[in-house]
Amino acid sequence: MRTILVTGGAGFIGANFVRMVLEEHPDTTVVNLDVLTYAGNIENLKGYTANPNHVFVRGDIGDAALVAGLMDKYKIGAVINFAAESHVDRSLVEPGVFIQTNVQGTLTLLKIALEKKIERFVQISTDEVYGSLGPEGFFTESTPLAPNSPYSASKAAADMLVRAFGHSWGLPYNITRCSNNYGPYQFPEKMIPLMINNALNNKPLPVYGDGLYVRDWLYVYDHCTAIWKVLTKAPAGTIYNIGGNNEKTNLEVIRLILNRLGKPHSLIHHVKDRPGHDRRYAIDSAKIMKELDWRPTVTFEEGVNRTIDWYLANTDWLKHVVSGQYQQYYESMYANRR
Ligand code: NAD
Ligand code: DAU
């Protein structure tokens, strides 16, 4: 029996990870620390809050006393740090909170993990720390970091802190850098669920710039299995890129969604671009495939079908998350893009 501290486990990827662990690894207890920002949603853990292997704690990763107390109380063996401010557009409007959570919060976790002699610290990072690619080539683990947005700069800073704690004091760590995830429970500020939600409501689909930006899409369950492999099999002090080998332009993805929902392409509206918009991300996953025997299992077509089916079957979830604050966010974020 092992006990892990998952931070940000009420967010999109964290909740999918917690669900996977509780379903597939019943010898593991999950202590789930999440402050429940706008993106954190206890509904994402429906059916699992009373699970005897799951303890949910509402709190901030920057609260040192709380984190230290949890590590002692539950004899935490490993930390998997998902907690973050995760949306690029928001970071361009309000970068301070990204530094607070992604940098300061991670620093607090690192200090306490070191003090409590945690066996493994897994930092969930992103391919965005590598910057942007031209039409050719892939990010490998040795690609120099060149973050372009306040979000990716804060994630790169956190990665550097994790590395420094390993180098200076021997903290046993891993860093994972994944490409764009999609799937159930993703907050509809991100491209795929935003487009599904707008299409369902016959609202215009706001495509930034020419829509020819490329992302390497990975179904969230495949990201979760990769993280589990890293947690349980990787040597300390290693970094793994995780990708779907599945490059698509934004317009390709949006047309697929419209076709699948039987909605007209006339809903597509090109709007003002994101400042500093990274043109292309593409991941070379050879290292994790070779060393940890990980493979993505869900094709893009299958993943998009599953995702759309999930949003269609969970209209209540969608209604709850898009009410109130989301409406204000949508109005302010898209008002000056028209
Ligand atoms: P998300 O925004 O859906 O969830 C983030 C979660 O962290 C929320 O539940 C939120 O309440 C929680 N949180 C925020 N600040 C906190 C704090 N101070 N203390 C405790 N909890 C806090 O994000 P996501 O898309 O699930 O991303 C999870 C992680 O994976 C992030 O670190 C992100 O950088 C990384 N990542 C995301 C993607 C992607 O495509 N979404 C890809 C690669 C890496
Ligand atoms: O690559 C991993 C990263 O992927 C993660 O680290 C981030 O947390 C996650 O948010 C995601 O970042 P992106 O900026 O790539 O994702 P987003 O869903 O915001 O945008 C995907 C693409 O779609 C991007 O080219 C911008 C475009 N877009 C996005 C929105 C929200 C639009 O054209 N219109 C939109 O309304």
- From 178, 213, 212, 208, select the one nearest 195 (Cα to Cα): 208
What pLDDT, on the 0 to 100 scale, is given for residue 337?
Answer: 83
Which of 37, 41, 60 to mutate to test ligand 1, by most ligand atoms within 8 A of the CB atom? 37
Residue 213 has pLDDT above 80, yes or no: yes
Question: Does residue 32 belong to any structural domain of this protein?
Answer: yes
Q: What is the tens place of the pLDDT at every residue in 174-191?
A: 999 999 999 999 999 999
Q: Token pair 């039409």 is at which residue?
A: 135
Q: What's 272's DSSP letter?
A: P
| Amino acid at residue number 283 | I
Q: Which of 6, 7, 13 to mutate to test the pocket of ligand 1 (most atoms within 8 A of CB)?
A: 13
- Give the Cα separation of 217 and 244 in Å (integer): 6
Q: Which residue has the tokens 């390709």?
A: 252
Atom 29 in ligand 2: which residue has the minimum CA distance? 191
CA of 281, closest atom in ligand 2 = 1
Q: Report the distance separating Cα 167 and Cα 165, nearest Å.
A: 6
Cα angle 99-68-72, degrees, rounded to a multiple of 5? 150
Q: Assign 328 a pLDDT band (cuts: 50, 70, 90).
A: confident
Which 8-state DSSP code applies to residue 280?
B
Compute the distance between CA of residue 293 and CA of residue 209 in angstroms, rounded to an integer. 38
Question: Do residues 108 and 71 touch, judged by C-beta distance below 8 A?
Answer: no
What's the pLDDT score for residue 250? 98
State the residue range of the domain holding 77: 2-182+217-242
For residue 232, pLDDT over 80 is answered with yes
Q: Which atom of ligand 2 is nearest to the CA of 195?
A: 36
Domain count, the chain: 1
State the distance from the centre of ligand 2 to the C-alpha of 208, rounded, in angstroms.
10
> Is position 159 within any domain?
yes
What kind and span of H or E run contains 4?
strand 2-7
**Does 336 or 265 have the greater pLDDT score?**
265
Q: What is the pLDDT of residue 99?
A: 98
Q: Is the CB of 152 under 6 A from ligand 1?
A: no
The band of 166, judged by pLDDT with boundaries at 50, 70 and 90, is: very high
Tokens of 231: 């947690």
Query: Is 119 a domain residue?
Result: yes
Candidate of 36, 82, 216, 288 to mutate for ligand 1, largest count of ligand atoms within 8 Å of Cβ: 82
Angle at 279 between CA 273 and CA 281, to 5 degrees: 135
Residue 145 forms part of a structural domain: yes
The CATH number covering residue 49 comes to: 3.40.50.720
Instruction: Judge whether 277 lies within some domain.
Output: no
| 313 three-state secondary structure | helix
Alpha-carbon distance of 10 to 82, in angstroms, equals 10
Q: What is the overall mean pLDDT for the chain?
A: 97
Q: State the pLDDT at residue 273.
A: 98
- Ligand 1 touching residue 36 (CB < 6 A): yes
Query: What integer is the mean pLDDT of 153-163?
Result: 99
- Give, in order, the Cα–Cα distances in Å from 329 to each of 66, 276, 333: 31, 21, 6
Query: Given this model, what pLDDT does residue 194 score?
Result: 98
Residue 33 domain-assigned (yes or no): yes
Q: Check pLDDT > 90 for residue 329.
A: no
pLDDT tens-digit map of 16-65 = 999 999 999 999 999 999 999 999 999 999 999 999 999 999 999 999 99
Q: What is the pLDDT of residue 212?
A: 98
Backbone dihedral region for residue 244 (phi beyond 0: left; psi -120 to 50: alpha; all else: beta): alpha
Q: Tell me 127's DSSP state.
A: G
Average pLDDT value for residue range 108-115? 98
Which residues are tagged catalytic? 127-128, 151
Ligand 2 centroid–CA 265 distance in Å is 20
- pLDDT at position 241, please? 98
Distance from C-alpha of 263 to C-alpha of 184, rounded to nearest angstrom: 21
Ligand 2 atom with least separation from CA of 125: 6
pTM above 0.95, yes or no: yes
266 pLDDT exceeds 80? yes
C-beta separation of 40 from 64 below 8 A: no
